[in-house]
């Protein structure tokens, strides 16, 4: 099983619908991140959390919200999806014990299409 699991892997929805992407990890890491990837733009940080109940905005947080329900779970919500939120979303984790040298571990991605 993957260390960082994202569900769903693929989702097609309509404009205005509420969508939740979920991420769970078995790495035991305290830090978790949500990224968005668009073609040719690399990965941009949406939100990050350094511990349960710690939530921080990233570069492109507008239109998104997150919840850190437990150390192992970090959910990304789109309250009212719009077509320009069509993208590939990645969850990642890291260990605060090695903030600068530790690896970021990524999930396999969730492809979201908003019609």
Q: Is the peptide bond before 8 cis (omega within 30 degrees of 0)?
A: yes
d(CA 67, CA 71): 11
d(CA 49, CA 56): 6
Per CB under 8 A, does 55 bind other proteins? no
Per CB under 8 A, the segment of 11-19, 20-28, 67-75, 102-110 that binds other proteins is 102-110
Query: If DSSP codes are grouped into helix, strand and coil, which group holds residue 41?
Result: coil
Among 11, 22, 43, 65, binds other proteins (CB under 8 A): 43
Residue closer to other proteins by CB (options 81, 92) is 92
Among 19, 29, 32, 107, binds other proteins (CB under 8 A): 107
Among 92, 93, 112, 114, binds other proteins (CB under 8 A): 92
Contact 114, 15 (CB under 8 A): yes
Structure tokens at 39: 């073609």
In the complex, the residues that contact other proteins under the rule CB under 8 A are 4, 33, 35, 40-45, 48, 50, 56, 58-59, 90, 92, 99-101, 103-109
């Amino acid at each position: 099983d993957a260390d960082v699991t994202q569900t769903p892997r693929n989702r097609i929805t309509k404009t205005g619908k509420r969508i939740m992407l979920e991420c769970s990890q078995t790495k035991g890491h305290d830090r978790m991140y949500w990224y968005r990837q668009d073609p040719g733009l690399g990965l941009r940080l949406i939100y990050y959390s350094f511990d349960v109940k710690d939530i921080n905005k990233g570069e492109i947080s507008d239109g998104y919200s997150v919840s850190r329900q437990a150390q192992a779970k970090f959910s990304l919500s789109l309250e009212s999806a719009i077509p320009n939120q069509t993208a590939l979303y990645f969850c990642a984790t890291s260990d605060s014990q090695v903030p600068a040298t530790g690896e970021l571990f990524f999930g396999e991605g969730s492809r979201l299409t908003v019609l």
